[in-house]
Amino acid sequence: MPVALGIIGYPINHSISPIFQQAALDHIGLHAAYRASEVPPERLAGFLKTLREEKYLGINVTVPHKVAVIPYLDEMDPTATAAGAVNTILNLNGKLIGHNTDTYGFLQGLKIERRFECRDKRVLVLGAGGAARGVLQALIQERVIECVIANRTLHKAERLAATGLQMGIDCKSIGMAWEELSLAAVNADLIVNCTTIGMAHTLNEGDSPLQPQQIPPGALVYDLVYNPLVTPLIRAAARAGADTLGGIHMLVYQGAASFELWLGSEAPVEVMMQAAVNTMSGDD
């Protein structure tokens, strides 16, 4: 019987994790299958019960279950506790342990792909949803000097900024109006898009949260949106002369960290990245 791994979400058909995780499992020659399961909220408890079976090593968890799985787990690691969300579950002999590799994946993208260190940097975070929460944790951990959180719904940005302030970083909240966004962007060393603006198959597909004239050429613009690979924001940033980083890197690095938690061996990151990029560029 093959070892079972996978990802749960609702919906789940957009996920490319099965492609690059299976490529990694095949590469190391493990008799294992990584499958996507569409689990509606009312089936979550039942699914997690079966996860305790011996054949399951663990799963990834995506929207909308990252917080909802927590009450069903036996333990949480400190990163998952800090983020208040779980994206990886490890089945340790019937005991379910929650982890969060999103923070690590976000930082690995910066460190490995761009040699960017966050310490003492000024950061503009666009968005205040689940991804922004994980990114803020990473920025706090890395001791940025200032963080501005911009969100369409202002009270969500205010709530997130309050968390940052409590954790000792200079954190401000703003709305998404042109003037205030431009003022915040001009001082930023790093701009991170944690909104869904620019994401394929959404109403804002084709839009960018910032225009080229708002982006300083010295900034690094990190778009967490990975479908498409080259987003409207990445194009706008390139036009402004800024450095850019696409969300595919975070996606693969968080997946590689999950792989290492389940299997205890080094993930073949290059194989995973190639499989992910090939799929997204339609070469697969």
Answer for which of 88, 137, 151, 214 binds ligand NAP (CB under 6 A) is 151
Residue 24 vs 251, nearer CB to ligand NAP: 251
Structure tokens at 19: 């492609």
Instruction: Report if residue 104 touches ligand NAP, rule: CB under 6 A.
Output: no
Q: Which is nearer to ligand NAP, 97 or 126 (CB)?
A: 126
Query: Can residue 12 be called a binding residue for ligand NAP (CB under 6 A)?
Result: no
Residues with Cβ within 8 Å of 9's Cβ and at least 6 positions away in sequence, in order, are: 15, 36, 38, 39, 61, 62, 63, 64, 65
Q: How far is the CB of 215 from ligand NAP (least distance, A)?
A: 17
Query: Smallest distance from the beta carbon of 150 to ligand NAP, in angstroms?
Result: 9
Tokens of 270: 């290059």
Q: Is 55 a catalytic residue?
A: no
User: Which residue, 91 or 101, has its beta carbon nearer to ligand NAP?
Assistant: 101
If binding is defined by CB under 6 A, does position 196 make contact with ligand NAP? yes
Using CB under 6 A, count the residues that bind ligand NAP: 27
Residue 56 lies near ligand NAP (rule: CB under 6 A): no
The letter for the amino acid at 117 is E
Q: DSSP labels for 56-110? A: EEEEEE-TT-TTTTGGG-SEE-HHHHHHT--SEEEEETTEEEEE--HHHHHHHII
Is there a contact between 96 and 66 (Cβ–Cβ < 8 Å)? no
Give min distance, CB of 147 to ligand NAP, in A: 15
Of 123 and 199, CB closest to ligand NAP:
199
Contact between 202 and 196 under an 8 Å Cβ cutoff? The reply is: yes
> Residue 58 or residue 105: which is nearer to ligand NAP going by CB?
105
Among 32, 28, 104, which Cα is nearest to 258's? 104
Nearest-angstrom CA–CA distance, 137 and 46 = 31
Tell me the H-state helices in the chain: 17-28, 44-50, 78-83, 102-108, 114, 130-141, 154-166, 178-186, 232-240, 248-263, 269-280
Q: Closest approach of Cβ 178 to ligand NAP, in Å?
A: 13
Q: CB of 22: closest distance to ligand NAP in angstroms?
A: 18
The active-site residue, picked from 66, 95, 111, 121, is 66
Helices 130-141 and 154-166 cross at an angle (nearest 10°) of: 20
| Position 63 contacts ligand NAP (CB under 6 A) | yes
Among the residue ranges 15-23, 29-37, 145-153, 228-236, the one whose residues contact ligand NAP (CB under 6 A): 145-153
Integer Cα distance of 267 and 188 in angstroms: 33
Beta bridge partners of 244: 221
Of residues 242-271, which lie at the interface with ligand NAP (CB under 6 A)?
A: 247, 250-251, 254
CB of 217 vs ligand NAP, minimal distance in Å:
24
Active site residues: 66
Per CB under 6 A, residues contacting ligand NAP are 63, 102, 105, 127-132, 151-153, 156, 176, 194-197, 199, 204, 224-226, 247, 250-251, 254
